[in-house]
Structure 1
Amino acid sequence: MAAKEPPNGWADDELTKFLDIIHWNNWATFSNNSAEFQLLQRVDHAFHTIANNLNRPETILEPMLLLRSHSAYRAACGLVMGGQAVDVFPSLRSVLEYALYALHIRRNSGYGEVWMRRHESAESMMACRRKFGTKKVMDTLAAADQSLHEKIRTLYERTVDYGAHPNERALTSSMQMRAGGDDVEFLHLYVVDDGPALAHATKTGAQVGLGALLIFRMMFKERFDILEITPKLDELKKQL
């Protein structure tokens, strides 16, 4: 079987039909939206570069959280390129949360152990929840960089509004209404075509990835600078 040929039975059921649409949409986005894709690609390249140069870290949790943030970013890229303009937002929230947790652990002595012991007991669970609430991790970022905090908070709230939680914007951004005679038909789009919803999700994806990298740069500044990632992030900031 050639590498680009589907296996027997592919697209014979509703799930694989849907996945086939996603597959072809990824190719279409790559071909038809090259400028937008290149922004996603440049953010990924920066992530990939730092992720592959984290040898001999001073601590282990922050690098591991960077890798998870990068993985969530790549998942988000696959969703948005496939046209899943609502379902991408939970992954984008994860991209930011991994970065925020890493900074929170770095800036607060002993928090890494609290986080790692989360599931040991009910008391450990409550201790972790008290120390790692959204406001707490955002406050840590604000103390480190107020300007970046404002941008990240805006992005985080956007991910929640557009799909990370069941909200009105997540519902209406992928809905169409058709009126015919006495009937009104409501359509919910699992996958969107090129248009405002997809453009919004794509740009948000690149902005979120960049934002996470800027948070991680505070923890790994020397490596970002040596690897010449910092000027690339500065250039991306001008375009996003």
Structure 2
Amino acid sequence: MTGITRLFSHFDPNSTYSEGFFRYVDAVGIVAMRGVMATKEPPKGWGTDELTKFLDIIHWNNWAVFSNKHAEFQLLQQVDQAFYTISSNLNHPQTLLEPMLLLRSHSAYRAACGLVMGGQTVDAFPSLRSVLEYALYALHIRRNSGYGEVWMRRHESDDSIRACRRRFETRKVMATLAAADQSLHEKIRTLYERTVDYGAHPNERALTSSMQMRAGDDDVEFLHLYVVDDGPALAHAIKTSAQIGLGALLIFRMMFKERFDILEITPKLDELKKQL
């Protein structure tokens, strides 16, 4: 039995836990270094090697997108605010796994936003796929009795791994969404395939969307961009990030409809749909 399975083995995934016993909160971990957090100055040696120079570029690109593409950033921020609101109000959960998967979906969304705004558009798409997969798995578990336990026990044996793989094949997970909402399923399938095309798998579009070719008199130079500049690739990745975050929230709303409505998240999602 793995550590995580031991940790949750005494929980009944079908029980309702009181706020005092189990509560979901938005949590941020900070690794603080003495002196650095107070002065906000980079530590000694930062920027003297290629990796930290690269990380500085990512940092400044995030600021540049916030300042120069504020309308696009606001879409990302509005999706994040909806995620934050529901993530901060998941006390008294009816089940165990779905709220935890919601938090992981939100975390993956924030990771993707950081990568996209930093210009790492191709590298953002694996995180964007995770945003959707956490939501899809949560719905699949909610709609199929016993699947939560199968998923939690995945690593107990080779048989457990095979059983989990069979039940959580992508086509089966997508079929659960299709049965719940055919229209949303079509949109999510399109977005999921886009993540695969543009970076979640090593496909052609992932490669060519971040390449430039320069032809000289005697040769041709191919440039592979780790970080893209302002242009179609960045605009596409920003919009896709907002669409995927919204799509994941719409999936989670199926599981937490009453809470989404009480927190007035639903009308905000409806407004976002018009913009995206």
Tell me the SS of whatever aligns to 2:155: coil
Unmatched tracts of structure 1, length 5 or more = none
Deviation at 1:54, TM superposition (A): 0.3
Q: Which amino acid aligns with 1:19?
A: L
Q: Residue 87 of structure 1 aligns to a residue in which SS?
A: helix
Q: Aligned in 2, Cα 1:4/1:31: closer, same or farther, shift over 3 Å?
A: farther
Kindly indicate whether residue 136 of structure 2 is the aligned counterpart of residue 100 of structure 1. yes
Distance 1:28 1:59 in 2: 41
* Per-residue deviation, residues 7-53 of structure 1 (Å, max 9, x unmatched): 11111000000000001111111100100000000000000000000
Q: Hey, what's the Cα distance between the residues in 2 that align with 1:36 and 1:158?
A: 19
**2:117 matched to 1:117?**
no
Where in structure 2 are the equivalents of 1:57-76 lying within 5 Å? 57-76=93-112
Aligned residues: 240
Which residue number corresponds to residue 13 of structure 1?
Answer: 49
Q: 1:175 is matched with which residue: 211, 220, 226?
A: 211
Code of the aligned partner of 2:235: A
Q: Which runs of 5+ in 2 are unaligned?
A: 1-35
Deviation at 1:112, TM superposition (A): 0.2
- Rounded to whole Å, the distance in 2 between the matches of 1:97 and 1:9 is 39
CA offsets 1:118-156 (integer angstroms, 9 cap, x no match): 000000000000000100100000000000000000000
* Helix, strand or coil at the partner of 1:25: helix
Give the counterpart of 2:234 among 191, 198, 203. 198
Which residue type is aligned with residue 152 of structure 2? M
**Partner deviation per Cα, 1:189-236 (whole Å, 9 max, x = no partner):** 000111000000000000000000000000000000000000000000
- In the TM superposition, 1:1-240 aligns within 5 A as 3-240=39-276
Taking only the aligned residue pairs, the percentage that are identical comes to 88
- SS of equivalent to 1:185: strand
Give the letter for the 1:115 counterpart. Answer: W
TM-score w.r.t. the length of structure 1 is 0.99
Which structure is larger by alpha-carbon Rg, 1 or 2?
2
Deviating 4+ runs (over 6 angstroms): none
TM-score (norm 2): 0.86
The amino acid of 2:144's aligned partner reads N
**Does the residue aligned with 1:86 lie in a helix, a strand or coil?**
helix
Quick one: structure 1 residues 229 and 8, their matched pair in 2 at CA, closer, same or farther if it must change by over 3 Å? same
| Residue 5 (structure 1) shift | 2.2
RMSD: 0.7
> What's the CA shift string for 1:156-214, capped at 9, x where partnerless?
00000000000000000000001111111100000011100000000000000000000
